Chains A and B, each alone.
Chain A
């Protein structure tokens, strides 16, 4: 009987040489005349161990990592196919502390299955949520999602059930489900991992959303920087169509839902929902005024559910196990789990799905093991390029939308980027303004002009030109951007800028 060997095809694993490792494993097995079944799974999200090779044994999957092609003959010599001991052995994968202490609901299958195998998806509880949803009325589906307490995981944290209910009750013929897969927030990769490593869960979530609000057409607006996600989504959509999980008659229910992937073109602002809709319609990604809400007049002027990848990918487990099951994870008004992306200067970077309530300190030290450089952590930026820099004094704050808001910080999409003490926060503040200037859609003045003025003011502060005066000007400018920008790009750029200034005034030359 052939032995199952897993070598990931996730782009982070590939970026560290997983393709060469997979080829080396196959070649060595052929050379030794050993019968293996090489499965290209997703990544477990333990990036310091990638490429992580796993072998299926009677006791469970055993992990070896990081495995380079050079290590492969030695692994065969050590009988790794039967879980033999080797310097790279990490023991049973499920027992690795980093994984074992997680609560993987949305990412339940990520790293375990072959991402584009529908058979694998079904064998790991896939499409159970849809089967339940098909037995419910639209209002009952929406109620489950509302009861779960799920809030938009893209960053704005708006209750998903309320959004769906608005679309359900909207009049307007054709309705749409749009998935915001423009994961432009730097420091985040959980959308990418879902789409590359378990695309069916997103497809299932969108199908359920379609049933819930009466939409028959869905679009995934995917950033062009994710070619592997594009390939896997298209392969999964084709497989789902073939098996009757998408199309004119979903699972013989008489209900229709079609799905299509559309590519963005490298504009950060298109992650803003109304800009995204403009882009999908074939226009410049200019942010729209609200109202009307997309739920009432969205894509092509029709009622539209627009949700982030993780929000939609969390729907299948809610419909499978019930809203209450999901709600029992988390704290306060932050219910369920958040896939946290630990990145930057950190010893053990990775994907950590945990119930809300874990503290930054636990993440950074218990999971992350401190910085990769071995130097002290100076700050972390949470929630992407528009998130605040959080200093050490706030590391005990639990991950909770409201607790972060109380510190004038955001959780955003759950990205945590770590900086050691060599980071210059004035330069980071300048970069935040520069990024806003590059990516501004240009519709509103505070963002378009304010960001360029912001770069100039930061240059003066860094160059020690009229420092006190320019810091006052920076605060004034930030105030204008915060309070009068049309969307979060201009409106939140002051978060990294002012948090850097307030927590690290020394870097700005302020005593």
Chain B
């Protein structure tokens, strides 16, 4: 067996620290994704073992929830809101612009590895539509021009 290209010890630590709480599955998955940025497929048997469930069950949970991913994300993850309030404020124009600017579609990562783009259905910022979030920080009233400025800002911070 070849060594995985992800930190197995970190995953073991997350699992060990959470496996005994009631309903441990989602906290463990969050813990792994928070640590590694994604949930490598190789974690599935480890989680299944620790929680005494089948690998199919773990796989089923991971794939049910939109937030979990099984591939590494870009350096920054952009969540772009597709919901009604943002649509009412030119959100579709923003969506088209963002995809063109980044050269990717939803669920993809730019070739330089800087940005992943994910759709989201509401960020609770509907009073300041259209909204996006980058690495958990929300931005409101995002015009295509402001989108470009925010991207430059985020790149500069890195």
Contacts and interface: CB of A to CB of B under 8 A. Distances in A.
Interface in A275-312: 279-285, 300
B88 A417 contact: yes
A284 B61 CA distance: 5
What range describes how many residues of B lie at the interface? 35 or more
A435 interface: yes
Interface string B48-78: 0001000001001100111110000000000
A279 B26 contact: yes
Interface in A371-407: 372, 381, 385
B37 interface: no
Contact of B83 (A15, A16, A187): A187
A16 B122 contact: no
B42 to A, nearest CB: 20
A265 B126 contact: no
Nearest to A378: B88
A284 B127 contact: no
Given A267-B65, A280-B23, A225 B128 contact: no
B72 to A, nearest CB: 18
B141 A16 contact: yes
Interface stretch (A122-130, A139-147, A343-351, A447-455): A343-351
B131 to A, nearest CB: 6
A326 interface: no
Interface stretch (B4-12, B96-104, B109-117, B132-140): B132-140
A344 B84 CA distance: 8
Interface residues of A, number: 59
A503 interface: no
Nearest to B68: A265
Interface string B135-150: 0111111000000000
A349 B140 CA distance: 12
Contacts of B125: 11-12, 15, 189
A439 B121 contact: yes
A186 interface: yes
B89 interface: yes
A283 B139 contact: no
Contacts of B141: 15-16
Contacts, number: 151
Contacts of A184: 121-122
Contact of A285 (B24, B64, B121): B64
Contacts of A417: 84-85, 88, 126
Given A15-B140, A263-B30, A284-B61, A189 B83 contact: no
B23 A187 contact: no
A144 to B, nearest CB: 30
A279 B23 CA distance: 8
Name which of B23, B65, B88, B133 has the most chain A CB atoms within 10 A of its CB.
B88
A267 B122 CA distance: 11
Nearest to A227: B136
A329 interface: no
A413 to B, nearest CB: 11
B151 interface: no
B12 to A, nearest CB: 19
Contacts of A339: none
B138 A185 contact: no
Interface string A356-379: 000000000000000010000000
Interface of B: 22-27, 29-30, 51, 57, 60-61, 64-68, 79, 81, 83-85, 87-89, 120-129, 131, 133, 136-141
5 nearest CB pairs, A to B? A282-B25, A186-B83, A266-B67, A343-B126, A265-B65
Interface of A: 11-12, 14-16, 45, 47, 50, 183-189, 191-192, 224-227, 262-268, 279-285, 300, 341-345, 349-351, 372, 381, 385, 415, 417-420, 423, 428, 431, 435, 438-439, 441
